[in-house]
Structure 1
Amino acid sequence: METENGTAGEAPCPLVESYKYVLLPLTYSSVFLLGLLLNGAMLWLSCCRAKEWTCTTVHLVNLAVADLLYLCSLPLLIVNYILQDTWPFGELLCKLVRFLFYANLYGSILLLTCISVHRFLGVCYPIRSLPYRTRRLAAIGTAASWALVFLQLLPTLVYARTGVINNHTVCYDMTSPENLNSYYPYGMALTASGFLFPFLIILVCYCLMIKSLIQTAGDTNPVGSAARAKSIRTILLVCGLFAVCLLPFHVTRIIYLFIRVYRVTDCQLFQRWSLFYKIWRPLVSLNSCINPLLYFLSGTPLQQFSSKFRICYFISLDHSPEHSTITNKIVQA
C-alpha cells in the first residue's frame, strides 16, 4: 500500500498499487527488447542499405534515435519497479528519465506530424508540392521539431524530482505533491501544444488524403496504385498508434491530474483513475516499437528505388525541360 498526498499534503489517500511491481517490469522489459531490435534494424537499413535518403527516411531515422534514447532509460525504470517503487539512482537520473520519456513522446508526435504533412502534399498536390518536399526542408522541419520539444519540456527538468514515501525514495512521475498546483496548468498546456494541436493537423491531413484517394481509386496506373497503397498503410498505422497508445494515455493523464489536484479526497475515484493512468503509461511506450513499422510498411529501399525508376521512366517519355526538372526532384523526394 502506498500513500500519495493531495495538493498541499491534505487528506492522504492510500493507494493499492501492487500490480505495478509485476506489470511494469514485464511491460518495460518487453518494450526494451523489441524496441532495440526494431529500431536497431531500421537504423542499420537506413545507414547501411539505403543508398539515398528520402524525406521520409530523414523523419524516420530521427524517430529511431528518439526511441533508442528513451529505450536506454528503461532499465532504470525496470530496476525501480523490481525494487517496489524504490529509486536508487539519485535525482539527476530521475530528471533525465522523465525528460527522455516526454521527449520521445512529443518528439514522436511532431515527427509523425511532419510525415503526415509530407504524405498529404505528395498525395493531394504531387507536382505543385515538389519544391517543398526536399531533404533539406525535411531536415529543417526535423530540427525545428526537436527545438520546440526541448523548449516545451524545459519545465520538466524543474518539476521532476525525487521524494520520500513510506521511508523509501521515489522518483515522482510528474512532480512532488506540493508542486502539483503549479504543475497542473503546465501539464494542460503541454498536452494542448504537444498532443492536441499536432493531432488535429494529422486528422485534417488524413481526411483530405482519404478524400483524394477515393477520387483516384479508379486509376489503373501501377505507380499510382503503389503510392495509394503506401499512403493507406501510413494512415492506418498512424491512426492505430494514436488509438492504442497516444489518445488513451493523454485522456487518462488529464483526468488523473485533475483528480490529484482538485478531487484527491475522493479516494475511490483517485484509486480508479490512478489505476487507469498507470496502466496506460507503460503502454504508451509501445510507440517505440510501432514507430519502426512505418519504415517497413513504407517499403524497403529497393522498393523505393523501383518506384522512383518507374516514375522517372514514364516522365522521361516526355523530354521537355520541365519534366526533366520534375524527374530530378522526384529522385530526391
Structure 2
Amino acid sequence: MCHFFFFTVSPIMESSTPTLYSSASPLIYWEEHEDELSIEEMPSELEATLRYLSIMIYSIAFLLGTIGNGLVIWIAGFRMKRTVNTVWFLNLAIADFIFTFFLPLSIAYTALGFNWPFGTLLCKLNSTVAFLNLFASVFLLTIISADRCVSVVRPVWSQNHRTPRLASIIALFIWLASLFLCSPYLAFRDTIRDDETNVTHCYNNYAFSDNFNDMEVVALRSMRHQIMISVRFLFGFLLPFGLILVFYSLMALKLRRSHLAWSRRPFKVMASVVVAFFLCWFPYHILSVLEVIMHQWENKTLNIAVLIGSPLATSLAFFNSCLNPFLYVFLGRDFKESLRRSILSAFESAFSEEPGKTNDSRLKSRSLTDQEFQFT
C-alpha cells in the first residue's frame, strides 16, 4: 500500500496534510512505499520565486481589493438609487471585500515560511472565508446571468416582476447556500505543531486525527478529501459555468432572431466579469482535481506540475477579487468622460439599468402587444 503525502505552497489548496516549508531547507514532497522513502527537491531558487510572487500578488489583491470593493460598497450601497443591478453588484463587492480583508493572514503565513501563529480559530475562518467568496461569487454571477437572460427572452415578465426586493431575497438565499457549502472548512481546518522545525501548520484535518500512519485514518482522510474537491468543483465551477453558457446562448439566440438594438454596455460589463472570474478560478479547480488524481496515480511529472502550479493558480484566484471594480469603471459608459467628472459617475454608468428596464409605472402599464412588438 502506498502512502502519499503532498506539501504545497498554497494556503488554501486542498492538501489533507500540513504544508511543509522551512526557510533553511527546500520545499519538498515525498512518497512512502513500504519501507522506501524517495525525496524530490524543488530548486531553492524556484521555491523562493514562487513564495515571493505569491506574497506580491496577495498584497496587490489586498490593497486593490479592499479599496476598490470598498468604493463599490459605498457607491452602490449608499450613493445610488437601489435597483436590481446595484443589489447584484453590491453583493459581489461584499463577497470580494470580506475575502480581501482576510488576505493579510495569508500574506503573513506565506512570508513566515508557512508558519501559522494566529491560532486554530483564524485558521478555520481564513479558509472558510476564501470558499465563501468562491461560492457566493459564482452563484451571484449565475443569478445575474439568469437575470440578463430573462430580461431579453421574457421582457414583459421582467418589466413587471424584476424588483430590487426580489433581488435582495435571492441574494440572501445565495449567502445561506454559500455558508452551507463552505461550513465543512470550519470543521476540517486545523493546526498542528511540528516540534522539530518549531512551525505550526494550518491544514485540512479531514480525519480529525494527526495520525498519518493508520490505514483506516488515511483512507477516511482520502475519501473526505475527494468528496470536498468533487463538491467544490461541481457547485463552484461546473454547474454554474454550464448554466451561464446556457443563459448567454439563449440571449444570443434571441438577439439574433429579433434583430434587437440592445444596449451593449450592461452586457459587456457583466460578460467581462463572468469571463474574468472563470479564467481566474479555472486553473485552481483543475489543479485541485489533479491533486486528487495524484494521490491515486504515482506520476512524478504530475506531482511536480501540481507542486509548482498550485501557488500560481491560487494567486490568480485571489487576484480575481480585486478585478471587478476596475472592470466596472473601464467598461462603463463614457469611461473617459466619467473619470473627468468623478469615480462615482463611472460606477453609476456601469451599474445603471438598461434603457427601458426601469420599474416605472408607465412602463408596467404598457400593453402586452406593445411590449412584444418592441422585443420580438
> What TM-score range do you get, normalising by the shorter chain?
0.7 to 0.9
What letter matches 2:78 in structure 1?
C
Residue in 2 aligned with 1:21? 51
Matched, 1:276 2:309: yes
1:10-63 deviation per Cα after TM superposition (whole angstroms, max 9, x unaligned)? 95754523333211110100000111121011112113320x211121121111
What letter matches 1:77 in structure 2?
S
Residue in 2 aligned with 1:108? 137
Distance 1:310 1:4, change over 3 A: closer
Contact map agreement 2:115 2:201 (CA 8 A) in 1 = yes
Matched, 1:47 2:77: yes
- Return the offset for 1:87: 1.2
TM-score, length-scaled by structure 2:
0.73
Distance 1:208 1:266, change over 3 A: same
Residue in 2 aligned with 1:328? none
What letter matches 1:323 in structure 2?
R
Residue in 1 aligned with 2:165? 136
Percent of aligned positions with the same letter in both sequences? 28
**Which has the larger helix fraction?**
1
Segments of 5+ residues of structure 1 without an aligned counterpart are 326-333
Residue in 1 aligned with 2:243? 201
Matched, 1:2 2:27: yes
Residue in 1 aligned with 2:14? none
Residue in 1 aligned with 2:339? none
What letter matches 1:252 in structure 2?
L
Contact map agreement 1:3 1:12 (CA 8 A) in 2 = no
- Return the offset for 1:305: 6.5
Residue in 2 aligned with 1:56? 85
**Separation in 2, partners of 1:234, 1:6:** 45
**Separation in 1, partners of 2:236, 2:38:** 31
The alignment partner of 1:18 has SS state of helix
Residue in 2 aligned with 1:171? 202
Contact map agreement 1:63 1:111 (CA 8 A) in 2 = yes
Q: 1:241 aligns with which of 277, 294, 300?
A: 277
TM-score, length-scaled by structure 1:
0.81
**Separation in 1, partners of 2:83, 2:301:** 52
Q: Tell me how many residue pairs correspond in the alignment.
A: 311
- Return the offset for 1:294: 5.7
What letter matches 1:202 in structure 2?
I
- Return the offset for 1:277: 2.2
What letter matches 1:212 in structure 2?
K
1:166-315 correspondence runs (5 A): 167=197, 168-172=199-203, 178=218, 179-217=221-259, 219=261, 224=262, 227-242=263-278, 244-259=279-294, 261-263=295-297, 265-293=298-326, 295-296=328-329, 297=331, 300-301=347-348
Matched, 1:322 2:365: yes
- Return the offset for 1:7: 9.8
What letter matches 1:239 in structure 2?
V
The alignment partner of 2:156 has SS state of coil
**Separation in 2, partners of 1:256, 1:303:** 39
**Separation in 1, partners of 2:101, 2:273:** 25
Segments of 5+ residues of structure 2 without an aligned counterpart are 1-25, 213-217, 334-346, 369-376
- Which segment drifts farther, 162-171 or 192-201? 162-171
Contact map agreement 1:36 1:68 (CA 8 A) in 2 = yes
Distance 1:4 1:143, change over 3 A: farther
**Separation in 1, partners of 2:310, 2:120:** 23
**Separation in 2, partners of 1:8, 1:39:** 49
1:257-289 deviation per Cα after TM superposition (whole angstroms, max 9, x unaligned)? 321x213x5344212112112211111112211
- Return the offset for 1:228: 3.2
1:186-209 deviation per Cα after TM superposition (whole angstroms, max 9, x unaligned)? 221221122211111111001111
1:208-242 deviation per Cα after TM superposition (whole angstroms, max 9, x unaligned)? 112223334464xxxx4xx2332133223312331
Distance 1:209 1:76, change over 3 A: same
Matched, 1:38 2:90: no
- Return the offset for 1:304: 6.6
